[in-house]
Structure 1
């Protein structure tokens, strides 16, 4: 099937990466201090093996998890597909004939939806990972859905084209 539009987005907020890498560095520092230098990390230190496991999970696993997390938006004839990895094993498919209307929007991720990710707010559901622009979809029979995008004008145009094409 012909892909009219495809966008992959990742978390790029500097403040988020400072927090994630700061937490990871704290666990690695504890590992080095306790296991390699022979000190005791914390008031009630765990065993070296337990600390090594936790340091690996948090020190490597957490940054890797956030690095790999992505929002993929695809528009094909008659459909919009959204996949937020690792939470969606298969894309969420939206049949474009179900749309009542759609528009390019600028929004406040925190005020309107409570942050980034898969979010529910007073203004409906949102899939977003970065920025404050996207396309809002309005349906005949369910709540609105916001798809965050770094290329909202291209996404809007692709939806318009895909609605006109036969599946």
Structure 2
């Protein structure tokens, strides 16, 4: 296997229900602003419309990138991380694909901190991820939409 052998995955928030909720909030803000325009100043009207639009832009640009190669695992949740977080294989005790519950284990999607020893999670959608257990017993879960390909890649990597 050559050194350029790499697994790469990029995910974004593209779930229809998130966008439906955001559009509803924006529409409600616009309706409420114009319906009650006698009570609001111009700056309050602009603010009540700009905040939902800025949140929509933020949700649109968020992306989770995962790279796995013979050196280790890299993950980045843009725009919160401009550079990849690097986890070398020498610091990792165990890696496996598992099913998880984003809501009950981590409280949702994004950059999350689990309760009761679950560790940290980077996830965008779905309920499958790569569980990393470090030698210091800390844990990290990275969500994936390509669990089959990732599992095959990890199995190939083990052979090296």
For normalisation by structure 1, the TM-score amounts to 0.81
Partner residue of 1:48 out of 42, 47, 53: 42
Q: Distance in 1 between matches of 2:30 and 2:159?
A: 54
Q: Contact between 1:5 and 1:155, CA under 8 Å: does it hold in 2?
A: yes
Q: Give ranges in structure 2 of 5+ residues lacking alignment.
A: none
What does 1:39-118 align with in structure 2 at a 5 Å threshold?
40-41=36-37, 45-58=39-52, 60-118=53-111
How far apart are 1:61 and its partner, in Å?
1.1
Q: Contact between 1:11 and 1:129, CA under 8 Å: does it hold in 2?
A: yes
How far apart are 1:76 and its partner, in Å?
3.0
SS in 2 for 1:97: helix
For normalisation by structure 2, the TM-score amounts to 0.84
Aligned length: 156
RMSD between aligned residues: 2.2
Does the C-alpha gap of structure 1 residues 53 and 153 become closer, same or farther in structure 2, counting only changes over 3 Å? same
Q: Give 1:139's aligned residue.
A: 134
Looking at CA atoms only, which structure, 1 or 2, has the larger radius of gyration?
A: 1
Q: Please list every run of at least 4 consecutive aligned residues from structure 1 whose deviation after the TM superposition is greater than 6 angstroms.
A: none
Does the C-alpha gap of structure 1 residues 53 and 115 become closer, same or farther in structure 2, counting only changes over 3 Å? closer
